[in-house]
Structure formats: C-alpha cells, structure tokens
C-alpha cells in the first residue's frame, strides 16, 4: 500500500482524490454496493474497488430516484411547487418550505410579519432536532447496534411529528409556509404542547449521550475514520454539520442572518479532527443549541398577523429578474435559485441540494479505509436520496 504523490499534479489537482495503488498481491475486487443495500438510505450505488479489505477506488452512482423536480417546477405555478419541495428532503419538509419561500420573497421583495418569522424559527429548529436525532440513530444502526438508539431517536421524533401534524395537518409533507408568511396560525394549545415537548428535549439528549457518547465501540469505529480536511471541505462546497465537523466556522444562520436569527443567542459547535466522531458530536451539540433557540423563540413570540397583506395566492407573477436564497437546513446549505420572466411559472427553478454536494468528497474520505468503514462514513454524511436525485 503506497500513496502515490504526483508532484506535478499536486500543484494543480490538490483537491482531487489521492491515487492509491494496490499492493500487487491478488486481484482487485469490484463491488457494487447498492442500489439495494440496507446502508444506502434508499437507492444509491457505490462502485467500489477493493484490494483485500481496503478501498482503492469509489465512484458514487446517482439518479435512481431522479424525477426531474426542477422541470416539474418550471411547468407549474410558484405556489404549486411548494408541496413538491416537501418531497426533496422528506425528513425536513419545513426547512425546504422555508428555503423556497425565502428565495421567492427575495425575488419579489416581500416582508414577512414578525410572528410568522418566529413560527418559522420554532419549526425549523424542531426539524433540526428530529433530523439530527434520527440521522445519528441511522449512523449507529449502520454500526451494528440494530435498532435501540434509532428507536430512542424515533420516540422523540414522534413527539415532534405530532406537533407538526396538529399544526400543519401532515406529519412529514407539511406544506406549511407561503410567500410572505405561514398558512395557519399557531394556537395557544399548540404552543403549550410545544413547550411541553421542548422541556423534555434536553433530558432526551442527555439520555442519548449517556447511551452513546462514551461508548468504547462507537469511539473505536468513529475516531480517526473518514477524516475530511477543512481546506478540502471548503473547496468542495461541503456545508452543514459536515463542514463544521471539520472545524470550519460557517453557519448560514450566523452569516446571512436570514429571518430573525440575529435576535437569538446560540453558539456554533465545531469539530477538531473532521472525523466521524466529530460529526456525531457536532450534531449532538447542535441539537442542544437548537433547543436553546426554540426556548428563546417561544418566550418572545409576538402577537400579530402571520401573512404579508400584499401576499397573493393565485395569479402570482413576480417581476422579471432572479434571486438566490439559501438557509441552513439540517443537512447543510439549502438554496433555491429562481429566474422569473414575469410569467406565472418560474423560467428557471434550481435547487442547491446539500445532500448531493456533500457527497462530492465521499471518495476522498473513504480511500484507504476498510469496506465496513465506507458504510459508516457514508452514514455520517447524512443524506436523503429524495434530495440527492431530485
């Protein structure tokens, strides 16, 4: 096993995957991991070349869930695309709604009422908590702890989904936000129920950590595996907990201050080593920070309208122009790029999917590791195929 460093290429192609040469004993084994593999979170394939147990090449293959979401949206009105955004990252439909609404609001210059902004923050942070809890659950499941941590995560997620259902009518396909506000107002009883759930969340994170964080098997499997260097992470457009796990302090909530995030006090957890364990820890700590944000938002929630009075449901025609709006979704930077030609349909509708772009460096992270670690490294990226393939 030798790592070939091509000097001439290093100056130009420092951001390319290393070339690993097999040790010459025996043949390379080519394995197609997926599309139907329990660890791939859906239909996704990795063409892996193995030298013994070690990965010498890995090519991800996409498109099994491709439905051309962007083309559908270009043939539909602006409003009609809103329920389709739920189906991108179906774990976090509310943040998808928000990102799309934000891009359209930028395009037409709409102002969102205060109360709606607070509701959006509460829902987005609840989404982040349930997404991180279940993504950690899936990661541990792939490590071999079949079920227990995942079920603990799902127990808590269930409570949050119940809140979503009683507010928006649907557990996962919420379709809740509108351009210039939100669809329905929150009731006093819903807020009470939310306060109760949020009060129980810190105890859940403590329990989850007691279960996992100091577990020797988890540490042995995760520490020092799948290291992502910060300079490569930035260059490869990696975002979200992946980027912060590598120690890069970049969170769209802090950078763009979209919505009303500048009013809340919260910290950005960062990793030191950029390995799987750091990503796991960043997610745990982000859950704690999210709980703090929800508590502040619930405390300060003002009364008032939830929709911009100039907002229009039917016959919505933005002036010609374009806008790119992005938010910090639980999986990374989710952006929507819209071009309007003044018509009822967007001329161009583009989703910047964090799940897909975070997979750019999958090969770099996996090279040289055992095939069993590939499953873990892939799990630590935290993707949803509905968003990768669109």
Partner 1 sequence: MKTVEEIKAAIEAAVPGAGVEFVSNPSASAQHSLRIAPQSAVAVAKFLRDDADLAFDFLSNVTGVDWPDKEIAEKVKVMRWVTKTVDGPDGQKVDQPVEETVEETRKRIESGCLEVVYHLYSVGKKHGPLVLRMRTVNRTDQVDLPSLTPVWRSAELQEREVFDLYGVVFGGHPDLRRLLMWDGFKDHPMRRDYVEPDDFEYEPTPHDEVLKRAQERENREQRTEGPRDRGLAAG
Partner 2 sequence: MLGDGILKGMAETARNFFGSFVSDERLTTVEYPEQRIPTVEAARVFPFLVYDGANWEAGMRCVACQICEKECPPKCIYIEKSADKKPDFVGKQQFYPTRFDIDVSVCMSCQICVEVCPFEAIKMDTQFELATEDRFGGLLYDRKELSRSNEYYHSIHPTEAGEVDARLAEEKAKVEARAKAAAEAAAAKAAAAANPTQLAGGGS
Binding site for partner 2 (CB under 8 A): 76-77, 79-84, 86, 148, 152, 155, 158, 162, 165-170, 173, 175, 183-184, 207, 210-219, 313-314
State the Cα–Cα distance between residues 144 and 133, nearest whole angstrom. 17
Alpha-carbon span 280 to 286, nearest angstrom: 10
246 interacts with partner 1 by CB under 8 A: no
Note whether 343 binds partner 1 by CB under 8 A.
Answer: no
Burial-class residue 288 by CB neighbours within 10 Å (0-12, 13-18, 19+). middle
How many residues bind to partner 1 according to rule CB under 8 A?
49
Rounded to whole angstroms, the Cα distance separating 15 from 19 reads 12
Looking at beta carbons only, is 81 or 135 nearer to partner 2? Answer: 81
With CB cut-offs between 5 and 8 Å by kind, which of partner 1, partner 2, none does residue 250 bind?
Answer: partner 1
The distance of closest approach from Cβ of residue 84 to partner 2 in the complex, given in angstroms and rounded to an integer, is 6
Q: Which of 48, 99, 205, 361 binds partner 1 (CB under 8 A)?
A: 361
HSE at residue 390, side-chain half, CA atoms within 13 A, is 17
Binding string to partner 1 for residues 50 to 79, with x set by CB under 8 A, is what?
A: ------------xx--x-x-xx--------
Task: Write phi, then psi, for 218 (nearest 5 degrees).
Answer: -60, -45
Residue 339 binds to partner 1 (criterion: CB under 8 A): yes
Cβ at position 71, least distance to partner 1 in Å: 6
Return the one option of partner 2, partner 1, none that residue 155 interacts with (CB less than 5 to 8 A, by type). partner 2
Output the six-digit token pair for 350: 């583009």
Q: How far is the CB of 359 from partner 1 (least distance, A)?
A: 7
- Residue 158's binding partner out of partner 2, partner 1, none, with CB under 5 to 8 Å set by partner kind: partner 2
Binding residue for partner 1, selected from 6, 148, 187, 235, defined by CB under 8 A: 235
Smallest CA-to-CA distance from 366 within 29, 46, 25 is with: 46
The Cβ of residue 43 has, within 10 Å, a number of other Cβ atoms equal to: 17
| Least separation in angstroms between CB 20 and partner 1 | 16
Q: Which does 169 bind (CB under 5 to 8 A by kind): partner 1, partner 2, none?
A: partner 2
- DSSP track, 35-67: SB-GGGSSB-EEEEEEETTEEEEEEEE--TT--
When asked if residue 348 is in the footprint of partner 1 (CB under 8 A), the reply is: yes
Instruction: Considering the complex, state which of residue 300 and residue 324 has its C-beta at the smaller distance from partner 1.
Output: 324
* Cβ neighbours of residue 135 closer than 8 Å, sequence gap 6 or more: 91, 283, 330, 382
Least distance (Å) from partner 1 to the CB of residue 169?
A: 24
CB of 80 to partner 2, least distance (A): 4
Instruction: Indicate the helix (H) or strand (E) that contains 159.
Output: helix 148-168
Q: Which does 322 bind (CB under 5 to 8 A by kind): partner 2, partner 1, none?
A: partner 1
Q: Give dist(CA 383, CA 241) in Å, integer.
A: 12
- Helices and strands: H and E segment counts in the chain: 16, 10
Residue 227 contact partner, candidates partner 2, partner 1, none, CB within 5 to 8 A by sort of partner? none
| Whole-number Å distance between alpha carbons of 100 and 110 | 13
Residue nearer to partner 2 on the CB measure, 6 or 187: 187
Distance CA 177, CA 95 (A): 9
Q: Backbone phi, then psi, for 53, in 5-degree steps? A: -100, -10
What residues make contact with partner 1 under the rule CB under 8 A? 12-13, 15-16, 62-63, 66, 68, 70-71, 106-109, 232, 234-239, 248, 250, 255, 318-326, 333, 335, 337, 339-340, 347-348, 350, 352, 356-357, 359-361, 389-390
């Amino acid at each position: 096993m030798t790592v070939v460093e091509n000097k001439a290429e290093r100056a130009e192609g420092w951001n390319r995957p290393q070339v690993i040469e097999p040790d010459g004993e025996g043949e390379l084994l080519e394995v197609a991991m997926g599309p139907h593999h329990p660890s791939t979170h859906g239909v996704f394939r990795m063409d892996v070349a193995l030298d013994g147990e070690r990965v010498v090449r890995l090519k991800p293959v996409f498109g099994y869930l491709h439905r051309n979401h962007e083309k559908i949206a270009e043939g539909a009105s602006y409003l009609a695309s809103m329920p389709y955004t739920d189906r991108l990252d179906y774990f976090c439909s509310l943040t998808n709604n928000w990102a799309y609404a934000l891009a359209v609001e930028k395009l037409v210059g709409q102002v969102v009422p205060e109360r709606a902004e607070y509701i959006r923050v509460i829902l987005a942070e609840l989404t982040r908590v349930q997404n991180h809890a279940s993504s950690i659950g899936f990661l541990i499941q792939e490590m071999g702890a079949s079920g227990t941590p995942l079920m603990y995560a799902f127990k808590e997620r269930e409570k949050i989904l119940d809140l979503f259902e009683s507010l928006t009518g649907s557990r996962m396909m919420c379709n809740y936000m509108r351009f210039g506000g939100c669809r329905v107002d929150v009731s006093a009883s819903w807020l009470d129920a939310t306060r109760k759930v949020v009060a129980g969340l810190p105890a859940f994170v403590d329990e989850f950590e007691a279960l996992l964080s100091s577990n020797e098997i988890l540490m042995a499997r995760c520490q020092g595996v799948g290291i992502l260097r910060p300079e490569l992470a930035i260059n490869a457009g990696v975002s979200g907990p992946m980027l912060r796990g590598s120690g890069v302090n970049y969170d769209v909530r802090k950078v763009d201050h979209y919505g009303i995030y500048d009013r809340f006090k919260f910290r950005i957890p960062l990793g030191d080593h950029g390995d799987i364990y750091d990503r796991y820890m960043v997610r745990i700590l982000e859950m704690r920070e999210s709980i703090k944000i929800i508590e502040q938002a619930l405390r300060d929630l003002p009364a008032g309208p939830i929709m911009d009075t100039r907002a229009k449901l039917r016959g919505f025609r933005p002036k010609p122009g374009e806008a790119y709006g992005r938010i910090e979704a639980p999986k990374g930077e989710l952006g929507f790029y819209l071009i309007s030609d003044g018509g009822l349909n967007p001329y161009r509708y583009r989703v910047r999917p964090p799940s897909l772009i975070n997979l750019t460096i999958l090969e770099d992270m996996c090279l040289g590791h055992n095939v069993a670690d590939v499953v873990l490294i892939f799990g630590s990226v935290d993707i949803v195929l509905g968003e990768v393939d669109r």
